[in-house]
Structure 1
């Protein structure tokens, strides 16, 4: 697509092995971008790189490893040039009662989602300053709609929202754009695994119909990349999530009332158990960083 401003540009995508990251990488390549694929699952990254052909190269790396990320950033610059776009997408999730979740699992969610995004920004911002590029932070409805049974995920996504706002203010005068995306349920292995867990299945089931609908990952990726082309400061998928910002101050009270009614029933049915890290991507993250072991 030669009309795309991404044509010939270099984009870096973390968490590129599967899910939103892989779909975004494909869409970027379709619009003419070259893509540096970063993630934990080397075999999947290699297959995706081969699928995208000479437009892509891949690096297996943990986004929470400062030294390794710095080395990869240098290798990307030496091997592919200075990126114009960085998509901080790497993320994991867990569910279940806070006190039943092992501390290492809880910490790992925050480290990957929040600290990993900061590490990604730290190592690639020097290149974005050179290219006057754009940094897109992948957020979530959880960034402003905190839910019980997902305390680590909600805390980390609220954190990345504030982090993106802070970066935007700090680097705007230097020509670097920073955006935050708010995604609702997307058809990835993490969400499918969550639907197998009673506590998370109930969580989605008690949301209003538009809010509990699961969207195709390729459609989400196409909208993300379109907004990326526009260097948007905020991306809402679905678009009606923008309206939720108006009432976000009221959400905690509403959620608390629903939880007070439903959690005792779930507890009585034995449905309140810690899920561990969700999906195959979560299992890969657990193997590298989680000391609580399988759940």
Structure 2
């Protein structure tokens, strides 16, 4: 497959000022991409953009991924400003460290709403623009989609949901020439991991992620893997070979199901008949 050259293309990135978002924005800028940087802290996103270059190269917008109108407005504004959106990266995310029986219900709902529903809102808002360029949509999931740890119920559930959402969406948009992928890094150093290690429960559970199965990998490894995956428009991006087997086993039968279960125009025909509510009442 030819390399998907990022030079001159526009990338929309949510969660742009986070640990991963900041490093990824810089790497994409170095590849020659134009950047629409979306973050809850709009002022910080604008300063981030200014550090990368003039507004013709990078521009920031304030976005709350818990609000579809907010994401839609920013995506439309970015498409108008840059003239196109080629790649969308849903990177906004939060974590938790509490058992199911004690977690604050508001915390559970917030994590699911940002990590999973936020990806849906980002994809939904950007898809009309990505369809025009036959581009690529990527969501930041985690190895937690496949390896489920205690005290992380809403996080692992949301990341598994992101993986499933990307698989479903990939089938829905393939006839448009749009591709969809998910990225599944293991632990790497970010402000979120600093919070985990400063939390007594997190420090006990992961022992600082200094060695063994849960040892952290370099941020640069994650970023390089994502950029390479975007340039291949990959369906599944796993930054380390050691984790690739665990990540790929659940998806071994998926290509077979895709080909046999949904042949020809089955999916676009079904989409044309679907209602906005998702079903038609027979009562």
- Shift of the 100–34 alpha-carbon distance from structure 1 to 2, 3 Å rule, reads same
Separation of aligned partners in 2, 1:230 and 1:118:
22
Change (3 A) 1:14 1:206: closer
Partner of residue 156, structure 2 = 154
- Gap change, CA 1:151 and 1:32, over 3 Å in 2: same
Query: Bigger shift: 195-204 or 21-30?
Result: 195-204
What is aligned with 1:194? 196
Aligned length: 247
Instruction: Select 1:117's aligned residue among 110, 116, 119.
Output: 119
Query: Which stretch has the larger CA shift, 26-35 or 95-104?
Result: 95-104
- Alpha-carbon deviations, 1:179-216, whole Å to 9, x = none? 11111101100011101112222322398945322223
SS in 1 for 2:238: strand
How far, CA to CA, are the matches of 1:166 and 1:4 in structure 2?
23
Q: Could you say which residue in structure 2 is the equivalent of 1:224?
A: 226
Normalising by structure 2, we get a TM-score of 0.82
Q: Secondary structure in 2 aligned to 1:95?
A: coil
Aligned to 1:258: none
1:36-58: CA deviation from partner (whole Å, max 9, x where unpaired): 00011223212211110121000
Q: Deviations over 1:193-244 (max 9, x none)?
A: 1011122223223989453222232332122111111111111022221111
Q: What is the alpha-carbon distance in structure 1 between the residues aligned to residue 101 and residue 18 of structure 2?
A: 30
In structure 2, relative to structure 1, the CA distance for the partners of 1:119 and 1:175 (3 Å cut) is same
Tell me the residue number matched to 2:79: 77
User: Structure 1 residues 101, 32: CA separation in 2 closer, same or farther (over 3 Å shift)?
Assistant: same
**Under a length normalisation based on structure 1, what TM-score does the superposition of the two structures give?**
0.79
Equivalent-residue separation in structure 2 for 1:72 and 1:247 (angstroms): 37
Structure of greater relative contact order (alpha carbons < 8 Å, 6+ residues apart): 1
Counterpart check, 1:31 vs 2:31? yes
User: Aligned partners of 2:66 and 2:169: how far apart in 1?
Assistant: 19
CA distance in 2, matches of 1:225, 1:246: 19
Q: 1:289 matched to which residue of 2?
A: none
- Secondary structure at the aligned position of 1:242 is classed as helix
Correspondence 1:253-264 to 2 at 5 A: none
Aligned partners of 1:64 and 1:116 also within 8 Å: yes
3-state SS, counterpart of residue 137 of structure 2: strand
Q: Structure 2 matches for 1:71-220, cutoff 5 A?
A: 71-205=73-207, 209-220=211-222
Matched, 1:8 2:8: yes
The 3-state SS of whatever aligns with 2:221 is helix
Q: What CA RMSD, in Å, does the superposition of the two structures yield over aligned residues? A: 2.0
The corresponding residue for 1:53 is: 53
Gap change, CA 1:34 and 1:207, over 3 Å in 2: closer
Counterpart secondary structure, 2:167: helix
Unaligned 5+ runs, structure 2: 252-283
For 2:22 and 2:127, locate their aligned partners in 1 and report how far apart those are by CA, in whole Å: 22
Change in CA separation of 1:246 and 1:19 when aligned onto 2, cut-off 3 Å: closer
Q: Is the 8 A contact 1:10 1:35 kept in 2?
A: yes
Change (3 A) 1:103 1:246: same
